[in-house]
Structures are given as structure tokens and as C-alpha cells.
Structure 1
Amino acid sequence: MAIPNPYKTYKENTVTQASPAELTLMLYNGALKFIKLAKQGIEEQNIELKNTNIQKTQSIIQELMVTLNTDVEISNNLMRMYDFMFRQLVEANVKNDAKLLDEVEGFLVEFRDTWKEMIQQSRKGVQNGQA
């Protein structure tokens, strides 16, 4: 009988119990983690590490694009930004260009921080009895 991996169980529970807003935050954090690994791959001239992690970041950007609510005006602007970042990731992968990854990372940090602030403000509103 195999003993369940408590870390794996914890991760699965974290994802399955997270709100949509928290899942989006997790996506941003994951993308940032993979960009750091891709930059490490470029620095170490490890093409596999770079390529794998850029592709993971691209997958996250695609997920963010697919989940946008296109009925909301700001979504069109976000879609253009996500598309721009996706194209920058492709170019960074082809050219081994860490500066392009830095640019995408900067946007993702801003999006992540804004999203995190929105979640915190929403929680404060709920705690103060506002909906």
C-alpha cells in the first residue's frame, strides 16, 4: 500500500478549494516562477530548461486569455497585453533573449500585484459588511 504524498495532497486541495480570483493569482505566480527558470536556462546556456519554462509561461498566458470575460471592456485591453507578452515569449525563446523575458516579467509582476490588491480589497469589503 502506497503512502499518499502529503505535499501533493496539500497542493491539490489548495487548487480545488481556491476561488477563481485566487486561481488567477496562482497563474500569475506560476508564470513568474517559470520566467525566472527560463532566464536561468539562458544564463546557463541550458536550452531545454529555457525552452520548457518559456513554453509553460506561454501556456499560462494562453489560459489567462481563454478565461477572460470578453463582455467587460477592460478584457479587450488585457487580451492585447497577453497577446503581446505571448509574442515576446516566442521571440525570447527563438533569440535566447533574457531582456524580452525581463519585459514580460515586469508586466506579469504589475498584473499580479494589481490582482493581489484587488483580492485584498474585496476581502476587506466582505469583512466590513460590504458586498
Structure 2
Amino acid sequence: MGQQAQETYLRMQVQTAAPWELTTMLFNGSIKFMKQAKLAIENKDYESKNANIKKTIDILDELLITLNHSYDISKQLQALYNYMKERLFLANTKLSNDYIEECIDLMVELRDTWVQAMKGMATTSAKVHS
């Protein structure tokens, strides 16, 4: 698939996704970029490492901006996102995959919990409407 076709496909995915799916896409994107940053550190490709960490931080900033502060969990998520940003900054400056791996583990757990919660809500909603 060509670059333009991939971009068109991704644009269509974003435009047709439900809000919870967009959040899942952000989680998945951050995991992908962190894995690419890890690989870049291993390959001593510091430009790629920096670019992928920056992309991840941009995603974390987007997640921070979109938090709904009317829920108590938002404070915990805000702290978690800021913690990951700090760890990624350290990974970037110290060239340490340990920090990135920690953030990947946190993000995978967060994504999986999010997806389970959204599936649970969909199941509950389907039962209520049937």
C-alpha cells in the first residue's frame, strides 16, 4: 500500500470512528511510536528516537487536552500522562530504553483497560435497549 493510500485509509478511520475508538487509536499510536523509539535507541538512530518520542509526547498532550475533568479519574489520568511525559524526557536525554519500556507497559495496561470498559459499556447499553 502506498503512502498516500495509507494516509487516506487512516483519515477515513479517524473520520468514521466513535470518540472511544479515537482514544484507542491514540493509545495504539503512542505504543507504536514508543516501540519505534526503543528500536531507534538500539540502532543509535538518535534523530528517529527523538522524532518518535516527540510524537508520543504530542499524543500524551492530546490525551491531556481531551480529559473530561467532571470525572474523578481525570486527575489520576492527568498525573499518569504527565508522569509518562517525564519518563520519556528522561529516555530521550539519557538514551534509556528502561524508561520507554515502563511507559509502554503503562500505556498497554491503560489501553487494554479502556477497551474492556468500552466493551462493557456497549454490552450494558445493548441489554438496556433490547
- Where do 5+ consecutive residues of structure 2 fail to align? none
Alignment of 1:80-91 (within 5 A): 80-91=79-90
Alignment of 1:11-26 (within 5 A): 11-26=10-25
Cα offset for 1:130?
4.9
Which residue number in structure 2 is paired with residue 98 of structure 1? 97
- Where do 5+ consecutive residues of structure 1 fail to align? none
Moved more, 117-126 or 15-24: 117-126
| Secondary structure at 2:9 match in 1 | helix
Cα offset for 1:18?
0.7
Alignment partners' CA distance in 1, 2:52 and 2:120: 32
Which residue number in structure 1 is paired with residue 118 of structure 2? 119
Alignment of 1:1-131 (within 5 A): 5-130=4-129
Alignment partners' CA distance in 1, 2:125 and 2:71: 23
Moved more, 121-130 or 45-54: 121-130
Q: Deviations over 1:55-107 (max 9, x none)?
A: 00000011111110112111011111111000101110000000000111111
In angstroms, what is the RMSD of aligned CA positions?
1.5
Cα offset for 1:8?
3.1
TM-score (normalizing by structure 2): 0.91
Moved more, 40-49 or 5-14: 5-14
Distance 1:6 1:38, change over 3 A: closer
State the aligned residue count: 127
Distance 1:120 1:10, change over 3 A: same
Percentage identity across aligned positions? 38
TM-score (normalizing by structure 1): 0.91
